[in-house]
Amino acid sequence: MPYRSSRWVMALACTTALVATAACGSSGGTGGTTADGKIELTVATFNEFGYEDLLPAYEAAHPNIKVVARKTGKADDHHQNLFTKIAAGSGLSDIEAVEEGYLPQVLSKADKFNNLLEIGPADVKPDRWLAWKSESATKNGSFIGYGTDIGPLAMCYRKDLFEAAGLPSDPEGVKAVFATWDSYFAAGDQFKAKSGDKAWFDSAAQVFNAMINQEKVGYYDASDKLVVDTNPDLKADWQQVTAAVAKGQSAKLVAFSNEWNTGFKNAAFATKTCPSWMLGVVEKQAGPENAGKWAVTEAFPDGGGNWGGSFLTVPKQSKHPKEAAELAAWLTAPEQQIKAFTAKGTFPSQVEALTSPALLDQTSAYFGGVKTGALFAAQAKKGPASGTIQDKVFNSALQAVEQGTSVDDAWKQAVEGAQKAAK
């Protein structure tokens, strides 16, 4: 008898335990206090922010604070986690990094984030950063993100392909080629005439993104109304790019795909829109056998632009928002950002950091010893007209054009797709 009842109890216990773990298996503490009474702050970032050495330094200077870093490999996964946990109402870190491409979605939920003007240190004002950078993280007077890095745009080009096609390839000479988008596409025609199977640029979407980035009004107007079918600038850019595709200027390689990587090795295209972080990508994909063949110039058609960069936000879920804002302000201070730049190459968005010798003296041996730091610092000050870049709907439509869909059908696909996505 005792044997039997103990078995009964055990089964009951097992089931209860099972229900309990299943029901409350995923409860994790956020931003609490540690056992020894320290305030615990979590910092969630993706890819490389270069904070590995900075966080211990902050802990050393602030004995009452313990910092826990949460790093995610891919930006996609990081932001999906961010949005899901905003929806869940719990689980976010005290500091959440947000990438520029996801900023519109974050701003549409701006009420879930702290206004850093209110809770941040009083001496940290939006003018610490480039004006356009701070503006892009502000909505209805609420400043929700301290800028970390940016991706100022320049142009990369293959010197050897330029020479073979009879185009000027020296730093001064190429300025005429890259003066405006008109001169850029005209040079593309000239290039195509001389070097048959090589293309002028890698893919239409990569060029279109840079063009739309320079327009005052992109996909949305100032009142957040979708204007894709009525914005004449957007249509003009679209027509210019698709016309170039029709003339064979595009290598039709989807950016960051394996085929695109191979395209760099095979010298499939002669120019590439190059944000500061793209230099590393070019160097890696083109490989050491192409060292010295690629060059980078600050001459960018019709001015400059920006592609990429992030912000540090403090969600309202944080239990220690003031301390978190203080840490975020410290991490995004010019001195710290320069250290992060030295460690991982994240290009600073702080006005003061752009004059730092550590930045200005940076050179790239792969790109022929050019002073890349000074070059991109100059581009950073030009900035974008609007923050709009990288629209999935338009990227797909441009790909469709490259694969043989008619320009009109693809335009219809883009407009309908954008309207559906905006619904």
Partner 1 sequence: MTADLTEVPSGRGVEPRPPVRRDAPADHPRPPWRDRLTRLDVKFTPYLFIAPFFVLFAVIGLFPLLYTGYVSMFDWELGGDEHPFVGLENYATLLADDQFWNAMFNTISIFVLSSVPQMITAVLLAALLNTALRARTAWRMGVLLPYVASLVALAIIFSNLFGKQYGLINTFLDAVGLSPVDWQGNWFASHVAIATMVNWRWTGYNALIVLAAMQAIPREVHEAALVDGAGAVRRFVSITLPLLRPTIIFVVITSTIGGLQIFTEPKLFDPAGGSGGGFSHQYQTVVLYLYQAGFQDFDLGYASAMAWILFLVVLVIAAANFFLTRRIASTGESE
Neighbouring residues of 189: CB distance < 8 A, sequence distance ≥ 6: 247, 249
Does 250 interact with partner 1 (rule: CB under 8 A)? no
Position among 38, 62, 112, 293 found at the interface with partner 1 (CB under 8 A)? 112
**Residue 179, token pair as written in the block:** 């003066």
Within residues 356-385, the interface with partner 1 by CB under 8 A covers: none
Cα 153 from chain centre: 12
Position among 236, 358, 365, 421 found at the interface with partner 1 (CB under 8 A)? 421
3-class secondary structure, 313:
strand
Within residues 66-105, the interface with partner 1 by CB under 8 A covers: 76, 80, 83-84, 86-87, 105
Position among 53, 176, 216, 256 found at the interface with partner 1 (CB under 8 A)? 256
- Residue 244 CB, nearest distance to partner 1 (Å)? 18
Taking phi first (over 0 means left), then psi (-120 to 50 degrees means alpha), and beta for anything else, what does residue 254 get?
beta
Q: At 381, which helix (H) or strand (E)? A: helix 372-382
Does 18 interact with partner 1 (rule: CB under 8 A)? yes
Q: At 324, which helix (H) or strand (E)? A: helix 321-331
Within residues 175-214, the interface with partner 1 by CB under 8 A covers: none
Dist. CA 304–CA 302, nearest whole Å: 7
Position among 180, 230, 266, 406 found at the interface with partner 1 (CB under 8 A)? 266
CB atoms within 10 A of CB 168: 14
Does 257 interact with partner 1 (rule: CB under 8 A)? yes
Which residue(s) pair with 139 in the sheet?
Answer: 142
Q: Regarding beta strands 95-99 and 138-139, do their DSSP bridges make them parallel or antiparallel, or are they unpaired?
A: unpaired
Within residues 382-401, the interface with partner 1 by CB under 8 A covers: 392, 395-397, 399-400
**Residue 252, token pair as written in the block:** 């039709």
- Residue 285 CB, nearest distance to partner 1 (Å)? 13
Does 19 interact with partner 1 (rule: CB under 8 A)? yes
Dist. CA 174–CA 238, nearest whole Å: 24
Q: What DSSP state is assigned to residue 364?
A: B
Does 231 interact with partner 1 (rule: CB under 8 A)? no
- Please identify, among the stretches 9-17, 34-42, 53-61, 308-316, the one whose residues bind partner 1 according to the rule CB under 8 A: 9-17
Does 254 interact with partner 1 (rule: CB under 8 A)? yes
Binding site for partner 1 (CB under 8 A): 1, 4-5, 7-8, 11-12, 14-15, 18-19, 22-23, 76, 80, 83-84, 86-87, 105, 109, 112, 252-260, 262-263, 266, 268, 392, 395-397, 399-400, 403-405, 413, 421
